[in-house]
Amino acid sequence: MAQQKRHPIFVFDDRVGKMEFTDLLPYGIDPDGLCGDFWGARVVELQNLCRHWPELHIISEFDDRRINRFDASAPIFYLGNGDKDPSLEVSRKFVYKRENFERALEELLGRPENERNDIDHFLIRLTKAVLESDDPFAHSNFRRAMGRE
């Protein structure tokens, strides 16, 4: 059986050692999201952590790419414990099927209002934002769904 090709972003993450929520627990830092993401307000904290733990480095993420170095203009940051080569970067563009998002929204909206929980409401807002966007994985979609934009 032929091995399925991995998306370049996953290859990048493995190479730079992008850390997830549970990977960060031994360092005593809680990320802002379950994927190990930190928002811009935490930059100084991340820089201090990297000074204390030299095996760590900052990865910056924009709507269209993830880069293996600190860039203050990025809205999202991660910590990595792998290859620190600052020239490494990868596109965040994913191919998605619009009909999958439409089907998910239809399913969520099909639930009675009184049975929807906070996560359902968030997913409805997020799915609508994705369907209205030219770039379905833009950070602005998540900020809009969370009511921060």
Tell me, what amino acid is at 28? G
Residue 38 has pLDDT above 90, yes or no: yes
What is the model's pLDDT at position 134?
Answer: 62
For 104-122, write each residue's pLDDT tens digit. 778 777 878 777 777 777 7
Describe the strand order of the beta sheet including 65-67 as a list of residue ranges: 38-39, 76-80, 57-61, 65-67, 89-91
Please state which of the ranges 26-35, 66-75, 127-136 shows the lowest mean pLDDT.
127-136
User: What pLDDT score does 116 carry?
Assistant: 76
Indicate the domain borders of the chain. 8-91, 98-145
Cβ density class 110-121: b for 16+ within 10 Å, e for less? eeeeeeeeeeee
pLDDT above 90 covers a percentage of the chain that reads: 42
More confident residue, 102 or 46: 46
Work out the average pLDDT over 72-77.
Answer: 94
pLDDT at 90 (0 to 100): 92
- The whole-model pTM stands at 0.65
- Which of 5-9, 52-56, 83-87 is the least confident region? 5-9
